[in-house]
Structure 1
Amino acid sequence: MTGPGAQDLLERAAESAAMTAAAHAAAGGQGSLLVFEGEAGIGKTRLLLEARAISADAGFRIARARASELERDLAFGVTRQLFEPLLRAGCDAGPDSPWEGSAAQAREVFTAADPAAPVGDFAVLHGLFWLTVNVGHDRPLALLIDDLQWCDTQSLEFLVYLLARIDELPLLIVATMRTGETVAAEPLLRQIATDPSAKVYRPKPLSDRAVTQLLRHELSSDVHREFALACHQATGGNPLLLRELARTLTEEEFTASAVDAGKVADLEPRAISRIVRTRLARVPLESVSLAKAVAILGDRADLAIAARLAGQEFTTALESTAPLERTGFIGTEQTDSRVRLTFTHPLVRTAVYNMMTLAERAGAHRRAAELMSAAGSDPERVAAHLLRTPPAHDAAVVEALRSAAASARAHGAPAGAYTYLRRALDESSAGEERLALLSEAGQAALLVDLGVAVSLLRQAYESASLPRLKAMIGYSLGAALLYTVRTSEAKKILMESAELTPKSETELLRHIQSYILNIPVVESGRHEDIEKLLTDLRRLPPEGRVGSRLLDCIIAYHDMMRSDPRAGSRALRGLSDGVLVRHANGESPMVCGWITLLAAEKPQVSTSLEAAIKQAHRHGSLRDATVASLFRGADYLQQGFLDDAVVMLREAVRTGKSANAVIALPIARSYLAEALLEQGSAQEAASVLTEEDANEKALAPAYFFARTQSPVLLHTGDAQHAFESAVACGRCCEGFGITNPSLVPWRSDAVWSLHVLGRGEEARAYAGEELELARRWGSPRALGRALRSMATATPKEGMEFLEEAVEVLKQSNANLEKAKALAEYGAALRRAGRRQASRKPLHEALDLASRCGALPLVKRVRAELAAAGGQPRRTAVTGPESLTPSERRVAELAAEGATNRHIAQTLFVTPKTIELHLSNVYRKLGNVTRGELSEALAVPARRRAPH
């Protein structure tokens, strides 16, 4: 095997074995991440070299990157390092182009993007994911990243996105991370290191024995034990310090004898800066100046620019590289007809960088920015230097930083845009320019840090004088305040903004009003002024524009909360034609429209949510993707497709964490816990609920995440606390004015808890209330559940209520609720002595429960069938109607001739997921082949006869 010699991997057998095993697994399609964490010089980079050798021997395509302090604000800087050499190498053309399909969304990461058409951060992450898949489609891929602690935020977000899917990819990621560094992206680093697919190794210092072995190799001589012990004590067993010490020992003509052991401590081997200064003192001044220029410019510095920064002719600089290479500090490479210089270790760069004073460094960075700008460098690379200069109220610097912010936005990097604009604010003075910067920075911060966004937008709001401009800023500020549940402030700002809006600006006014009406959704209590506004706005004729549609959605939500059956039609009007999906995807008033349609069981909600997911993947942000996945998962759950629901809700939780979507996360976890409970994973359901932190609970409307706690507690056998939890949820609903049992069915949860506790009279009261409200609202699922609850509370009349529940749900798509009603009805018939009559509804219940994947219900129905003298089928139902929505879409696309990779890109999943879906499809359709899918999908369901 090629690569580092054995002396470079002393006492690293466990780490080497882990890399070999991970490479083998990745070659088989199960990827993983290995992280080597430790102090500087402990040998992490050497392990990365070994990973490269192992991957090369296994036939991997290899991409490498090294993060640096200078470029940690450069959007997707590490991602570019990884993929640009591969793209330059020629895999950018032909039928297997890496840009095939969704990967094209990531092109702007590697090119000069159009600021007028920015791509959402989630769309870019999704595109990068498919770029990764495409690059590795014909052979496994290894991504090797050094110094992850300095990685830019956007590349870390990309790693998080990859890790959520890595176990289905032929991908090996190996990264190193230095301890003891203060990093701004610590939450992302922690998320990466604690991911289930990640394994973290912490290489230990070398032992006395290994130190002796290394010194023998470096010094090419025998080493006395006392001398080796002195070196071990001086370096702490740090391999880098040992090598530098050995080099110094050679230069100072020391012998490795016991006599010289006492002199080792005098060399101060831990001070890398001292070693660097000592060696640089022996090279020409031109070489020192060039080294400082490279320290300013960072890794892979262009020699031509480094020469100008050092004040040298190119030929002089080229001659100056040789002495630097001899020191072992700097290496050179030639790419694209350019000579590039890189320090051999970040510690060396830091030492050279620190040889300059603060004033020298600031001046050099400003000069570097000028040189790079003149050379046509990426605006963000230019800005990376400007970030390291003190403010000087320079208009040119402000313009350069704004240009970099526009570039970052176009690349789908809102955090980068915010960073550049925040620095531009320090550079600007008062006046219109500063007002514009405050507004721009505040808008960028809306997707990065809502607290910062509020601060910046408030300054802009207070500085603005023109009514229309002030109203526009107030709209954004009010939304940010609302998202952070500072509702009284939000109300004040939004009301003021509505008053300031010119009468001709109807569209802006409708946007503002939609957010005013959103306030009672997140804050309980009476809002008489908003109620009056709501009454007035209900009378507005439909206008068809975005603002009017947002109003329709939020008004519909208010009507739905009060069980007004007209709410569904208004929500449909707001969400029709996909206008909001294209222009306001994920905005809070729009989301309220989805929730209303779900409560009303309108099938159009599925179409709207699918379009929203597609829009988020192609153009949208992490926030857009989170809310669309969340409510598509809720839709699947409501229809009873539990497997699809769990997949979608897990995705919502993952993207919600990346987006810091503190309002959406507890809601997603609540629905996920409910789906898991129905699947029979009660322990995991309880665990999912406990993941909510205090901040999330403080921001999200409590009635959403409280709704699942009672069923989970009841399942664990704690009926008393389950009842108390249901009642507490009810009190919360009352505070918000929510009566609709389709939104939060807390009364029926109370009924089932009271039934277990033997408190029948209380149960009947709650059941009666819910049934009355459900009849008023009229959706089959809510009414069927209320009737089932009433049957539990009134056993004598239970058969009548269950018959009605079965009839009500007959045409509903709420398959799980339908299965529960059939199961209860069949059980009631059996208990009444009508065993034969009970078998038909029980068989139907079993079929439906099996399709839903509701294992506890399947088990319960099987027991009832056995007690009724029936023969429960031992195999699942088959045929087209047994397919879940995801399986059917996969089957239809495969039947049309699409490849697995094309299907995966169309449905926003991995190719391996498509393989699993197709395996289920073939089995459910009677072990058909791919070529027989069209015919099989057209055949009515082939039910197997009961055994």
Structure 2
Amino acid sequence: MDQLWPARPAPHRGARPAPAGSRRAPAGLVGRDHELAELADFVGRVRTESEVRLVTGDRGIGKSALLTAGARLAAAAGLTVLRTRGAAAEADLGYAGLNRLLLPVAGELVVVPPGPRRTLETAIGLREGPSPTPLVVGTALLELMWRLSASRPVLLVVDDAARLDGPTAAALTFTAARLAAVPVGIVFAFAARPDGLDLAAEEWTLTGLDEHAAAELVDREFPDLAPVWRRRAVVLAEGNPRGLLEIAAAALAERVADRQGSGPTVTDAFRRLVEARLAGLAPADRDFALITALEGVGDLRMVEAALTVLRGEQTVRAEPSRRVGLVVAQDRVSFVDPVIQAAVVAASGGERRRQAHAALASVLSAHPARHAWHLAEAAVGPDELVARRLDDVGALAAQDGDATTAERVYSRAADLSTDPAGRATRLARTAGLRAFTGDCTGAATLLSRARWAHPAITQTPLYACVAVQIVIEGGGDLDAAYRLLAGALATAVDEPADDALFAGLRQLARLCALTGRADHWAEHDRLLRLVRPQPPAFLRATATLAQAGISAATGELPPAEPLPRQVAALLAGCAERPDQELVRHAGFVLASIDQLAGLRHWVVRAVVNGRELPITRGRLASLGHLCLDQLWSGHWDQAGLLVAEGLALIEAAGLAAEAWPFHYVDGMLAAARGDVDAASTAAGELAGWSASRAAGAVNLLASRLRALAALAAGDAEDALRHALVVGAAPVAGAVLAGERMAATLDLADAAARLGRPELARLRVAALADDEAVGGSTRLALVAAVSQALVAPVDAAGPLFEAALRLVDDPSPRWPGGPQAELWPFERARARLACGEWLRRRRSTVRAAGQLKLAEEAFTALGAHAWARRANKELAATGQGRRPGQGGLTPQELQIAELAASGLTNRQIAERLFVSPRTVGAHLHRVFPKLGITSRAALRDALVQRAPAC
């Protein structure tokens, strides 16, 4: 019997997507908080009125699990819950679905008048007689619903409704359309809204889990799965929970560790299931499914053209089969489940699969990358020509940041290589991509294979770059990594430069920045000068900016070229060729000299695009640069969210070597807000990271955090101690220039507060030269304020005036774009220092003006420890604001009351559907408004607060 509700591939035009959650929901579901909330609301409405809902979504998306959770919610709320589901084996059994639905209440059919009762009993097999029509059964079912709902609301749950037998489907449709105002709800679950369904019901399309929820599901079900495979499962399943668990189970059970990006691995049981389904199809339909699985893009015309070539017939027509998960929408064809797609490929014979690839290659000549890939897969043996074509494909994928595709392509190219040197090079490139995505064990294995293929590969920059990355990720000594890479580059610079050499020089620059050693930078510069032909502008800019960092730290080696020209070269390079690696390197350079704002467009694009791709070092680097940009521009809440995202990605990918920038930004946020414990924790993370790797530059950043946190806490002695460490540290390098010189303000502030300005004057004097501050608005401001703080009293006035001019007119002198929105924290500190000085000079009116502006800026940022310091000074002028005078917003009041009740930030976040970090940010603003400094004082403060709050 034909199904009454044939499935349709595309969702109904009026459907709205179900909101996607990202946290574990009640009832054991993950990532379905919003969906369960919708169901709970639906159940609540059913208590007083009729409701019909269609839940649609791909196979395996979680419809059944969600319906089960909804049924439990309804039962807990006191509803009568009746369930049924369609089954292919019962499609020809009339009223089989109705039988399953009504058997639990068969004893209650007595409440229905005799006529309808006999109809229902006959339909579900409790009474002999001719089968009634769906119209009669639907009328009787409607009568039953009216009677049952008179005592308790009723919920009917119909899962896999497309597979119901025809009579049941027709009867249920009839009933659903005529429920009127009785308290009865019906939920139907379909893969897609059927074309023939004429029912006025709200449709809710269930979408896949987001990346965080998918990762949480895998972690819960497979806690022992390696991080790299957890990440692959999340990427490959595309949010489909069943596909996600199938891939994870296969990886764990079969210890899959072959080739990253080769597609989902299918268990034997699942493959046998798909093989059985394929066996029931016509030969042309089986080939159609195979070509669709291999084609990958979903272009129906290309699939049909390749099918014609494969079958050797003039025109071949095949029908996409839902039995193997194929759906067609207009000119697109795809599988509803990526695991089914992989299983179709796995179930095909090797020879037929090769022939299908050859057919696809023959029709994709206008698409070089796809053409080359299918040629490679159709090859029956080594083919150097095809391998070279794949080299081009891999290079394009890597440039686009798609490391998984690039790795798969290079790996296949290595398999096809006839030249040992070419094979070794391709294996080394594959290893580099493995390391780039965090799989250093796999990368080491591939490097070993490359050495066996061609021992001379060990002398190349390509090999050295990968080896260095493995050393860094493993916590190895950076000095040893530097010597390894510098040695390889010293040999390579005698030959004409290529991309591998330039990549090696970029890696060497990053190593120099982490070690902070002047001799390392000097060797980097020497190697760069030997490169022929001349290296790209952005590499020359690295050398210039490195020299600027050394000059700022030691007073030696002045820049060889004007820095603004080099900044312009970097920005132009990103505009001309905005690939992920170039943006990563430019961000590293520009972050060192406070010029990230000019790169913001490209960094944001790299971060957004990267979210659609597997986690890589390049993606994390861009995310780290965006964190710094948001920190510097005063968007601290956003910076905090980005930090949390970055650290979560690092944990998921196992890329610990990329964690230090996020810990630094996290610590800076905590220190500026006066959270000494959090800042100390971040400083400890930085110190621990740097200790095993001998990364002096990173260790210096830990001291910077401790100094700023101590200042916020009012401990000038401790701040001075740590600030002196920053100033005296024997490190040099561009990456440190901006942050190290900005720390001079911490030193000057602490020394001035202790009445010992002479301790800071030597370091402050180094900032007097405009070349030393490199044209940075922030560093020029820091230099001016620091000089004013440590100057003799009679000389400080003009210096503070100069600092205030910079505060009011932060015009850039470099091509990085406007900086008026940058450095709000530093500008507020400048006003605070000036206001304090003016108050001590008894210029109270002018002092109050600067102090009020400083307090407002600190409060807006959430730097409440600094705001309190400004308010204390302001109060001394007679114009201060009393603690607790500021009013609470409704959300601040709600969060404060929940915190006062004893809930943790995480518990508050779960209740209000926000992040714990957002809760913390609100509480940071609440404390100074209520005039308190601890969570324990919240309850009393709320009871006693003035009505103005």
- Give the TM-score, by structure 1 length: 0.50
State the alpha-carbon separation in 1 of the partners of residues 61 and 383 from structure 2.
44
- Choose which of 125, 144, 147 in structure 1 pairs with 2:207: 144
SS of corresponding position for 2:550: helix
Instruction: Say whether the 8 Å CA contact 1:297–1:368 is kept in structure 2.
Output: yes
**Distance in 1 between residues matched to 2:767 and 2:38, nearest whole Å:** 57
Q: Is the contact between residue 562 and residue 738 of structure 1 (CA under 8 Å) also seen in structure 2?
A: no
Specify which of 214, 220, 231 is matched with residue 188 of structure 1: 231
1:864 maps to which residue? 873
Tell me how far apart the structure 1 counterparts of residues 565 and 495 of structure 2 sit (CA, whole Å). Answer: 25
Over 3 Å counting, the alpha-carbon distance change for 1:538 and 1:844 in structure 2 is: farther
1:671 equivalent in alignment to 2:665: yes
Distance 2:401 2:510 in 1: 28
User: Residues 631 and 639 of structure 2 are in contact (CA less than 8 Å); yes or no, is this contact kept in structure 1?
Assistant: yes
**Corresponding position of 1:421:** 410
CA contact (8 A) 1:439 1:457 kept: yes
Match of 1:743 in 2: 740
2:590 to 590, 594, 607: 594
How has the CA–CA distance of structure 1 residues 848 and 715 changed in structure 2, closer, same or farther, with 3 Å as cutoff? closer
1:418 Cα deviation after fit: 0.6
Matched residue of 2:805: which SS?
A: coil
Corresponding position: 1:521 with 2:545: no
- Report the CA distance shift for 1:372/1:15 in structure 2 as closer, same or farther (over 3 A): same
Show the counterpart of 1:559: 551
Contact 1:393 1:429 (8 Å CA) reproduced = yes
- Shifted more, 410-419 versus 483-492: the winner is 483-492
Structure-2 residue corresponding to 1:607 = 598
Q: 1:859 to 1:628 in 2, by over 3 A?
A: same
Shift of 1:594: 1.6
Is 1:804 aligned to 2:799, yes or no? Answer: yes
Counterpart residue number, 2:566: 574
The separation in 2 between residues aligned to 1:272 and 1:872, in whole angstroms, is 72
How many residue pairs were aligned?
653
Matches within 5 A, 1:5-16: none
Question: Which of 829, 832, 850 in structure 2 is aligned with 1:820?
Answer: 829
Equivalent residues of 2:838, 2:846 under 8 A apart: yes
Name the amino acid aligned to 2:780: P
Which amino acid in structure 1 is aligned with residue 672 of structure 2? E
Instruction: Quote the Cα distance in structure 2 between the aligned partners of 1:471 and 1:616.
Output: 31
8 Å contact from structure 1 (residues 865, 871) kept in 2: yes
- Residue 708 of structure 1 aligns with an amino acid whose one-letter code is L
CA separation of 1:320/1:612 partners in 2, compared to 1, >3 Å: closer, same or farther?
closer
Partner of 1:783: 783
- Residue 298 of structure 1 and its aligned partner are, at CA, apart by 9.8
Q: How does 1:188-587 map to 2 (within 5 A)?
A: 188=231, 330=323, 335=328, 369=357, 405=394, 412-426=401-415, 428=417, 430-438=419-427, 440-442=429-431, 444-445=433-434, 447-449=436-438, 451=440, 473=462, 480=469, 486-502=478-494, 519-523=511-515, 527=519, 530=522, 545-563=537-555, 567=559, 570-577=562-569, 578-582=571-575, 583=577, 586=582
C-alpha displacement of 1:576: 1.5
> What is the CA deviation profile of residues 701-737 of structure 1, one whole-angstrom value per residue up to 9, with x for unaligned ones?
3323542134335656888876665566566545879
Alignment partners' CA distance in 2, 1:536 and 1:345: 47
Contact 2:758 2:790 in 1 (8 A): no
Q: Indicate if the aligned counterparts of 1:822 and 1:842 stay in contact, CA closer than 8 A.
A: yes
Query: CA offset at residue 572 of structure 1?
Result: 1.7
Give the 3 Å change call, closer, same or farther, for CA 540–784 of structure 1 in structure 2: farther
* 1:472/1:497 contact within 8 Å kept: yes
**Counterpart of 1:267?**
none
Secondary structure of 2:437 counterpart: coil
Residue of structure 1 equivalent to 2:761: 768
**1:830·1:838 contact (CA, 8 Å) conserved in 2?**
yes
Contact 2:291 2:307 in 1 (8 A): no
AA aligned to 1:448 is: T
Q: CA deviation at 1:844?
A: 4.3
- Tell me: CA distance 1:273–1:190, structure 2 relative to 1, closer, same or farther (3 Å): closer
Name the Cα RMSD after superposition: 7.1
8 A Cα contact 1:552 1:571, kept in partner: yes
- Offset, 1:840: 3.7
2:583–2:603 contact (8 Å) kept in structure 1 = no
Deviations 1:89-112 (A, max 9, x none): xxxxxxxxxxxxxxxxxxxxxxxx
Q: Tell me the SS of whatever aligns to 1:775.
A: coil
Relative distance call for 1:579 and 1:740 in structure 2 (3 A) is: closer
List alignment gaps of at least 5 residues for structure 2. Answer: 8-24, 43-58, 73-201, 246-266, 774-778, 811-822, 888-913, 919-949
Q: 3-state SS of the aligned residue for 1:335?
A: strand
With 547-556 and 532-541 compared, the bigger mean Cα shift is at: 532-541
Q: Is the 8 A contact 2:308 2:316 kept in 1?
A: no
Change (3 A) 1:365 1:353: closer
- The aligned counterpart of 1:46 is 64
Letter in 2 for 1:703: L
Tell me what 2:82 maps to: none
Q: 1:363 to 1:861 in 2, by over 3 A?
A: same
1:553·1:589 contact (CA, 8 Å) conserved in 2?
A: no
Give, in whole Å, the separation in 2 of the partners of 1:545 and 1:320: 53
Q: Write the letter of the residue equivalent to 2:663.
A: R
Alignment partners' CA distance in 2, 1:311 and 1:502 = 55
Aligned pairs (5 A) from 1:107-122: none
Question: What is the distance in 2 between the residues matched to 1:637 and 1:294?
Answer: 53
1:799 Cα deviation from its structure 2 partner: 7.7
3-state DSSP class of the match of 2:593? helix
The residue number in structure 2 matching 1:711 is 708
Rate the CA distance shift 1:588–1:375 in 2: closer, same or farther, 3 A: closer
The equivalent position to 1:839 in structure 2, one of 841, 845, 848, is: 848
Query: 1:712 is aligned with what amino acid?
Result: A
1:46-71 deviation line (CA, Å, top 9, x unaligned) = 226789999xxxxxxxxxxxxxxxxx
Mapped to 2, the partners of 1:845 and 1:587 lie a distance apart of: 35
Give CA deviations for 1:351-407 in whole Å, capped at 9, x if unaligned.
Answer: x999x9xxx966675566556656769999999999999997577996897687578
**In the aligned structure 2, how far is the partner of 1:867 from the partner of 1:297?**
80
Unaligned ranges ≥5, structure 1:
5-10, 28-40, 55-138, 149-158, 165-172, 204-270, 599-603, 792-796, 877-911, 917-947
Give the conservation status (yes or no) of the 8 Å contact 1:819–1:849.
yes
CA contact (8 A) 2:36 2:66 kept: no
